[in-house]
Amino acid sequence: MLGVTSLVLGLIVVVLFGSWLVRRFRGGSQSTAQRESYERHKDAQQREPPVDIGDVREVGVQEFSEHHSGERQAVCKIEGFVVFVEDLPNDVAVGDVLEIKVLSFNRGHTSATATFVARA
């Protein structure tokens, strides 16, 4: 009796694990937002950035992010290209328009880092 119970429980575990693997590799575990984000990321890797290092631009703050160092950064976009702005005054809010200077790109050139210059 114990052998049959162990066999049934083992089969249940194998079926559950197998179905999880199938969903994982077919993308079934991703939400629609995650899939869309991944597709936008792939598209961004295929195009040239709309900015160059040293460019000074005006951008609107869309949201804030916390850098791995703990520093608050503004998330801005230029033609859909993400730019993380550092060295912000404490009173900058979502919707503010800033003048920024592009400092660098990430490895894949899918986003850039900039520094705050002034309020626009």
3-state secondary structure of 114: strand
For residue 14, with 0-12 CB atoms within 10 Å meaning exposed, 13-18 middle and 19 or more buried, which class applies? exposed
| Secondary structure (DSSP) of 53-108 | TT-EEEEE--EEEE-TTS-EEEEEEETTEEEEEES--TT--TT-EEEEEEEEE-TT
Q: What is the full per-residue pLDDT of the chain (120 aa) written as tens digits?
A: 678 888 888 889 888 888 877 777 766 556 788 888 888 778 777 888 999 999 999 999 999 998 777 889 999 999 989 999 999 999 999 999 999 999 999 988 889 999 999 998
Give the pair of three-digit tokens for residue 75. 């998330």
Architecture category of domain 55-119 in CATH: Beta Barrel (2.40)
In the chain, where the domains are located: 1-45, 55-119
The H-assigned helical ranges of 27-56 are 32-45
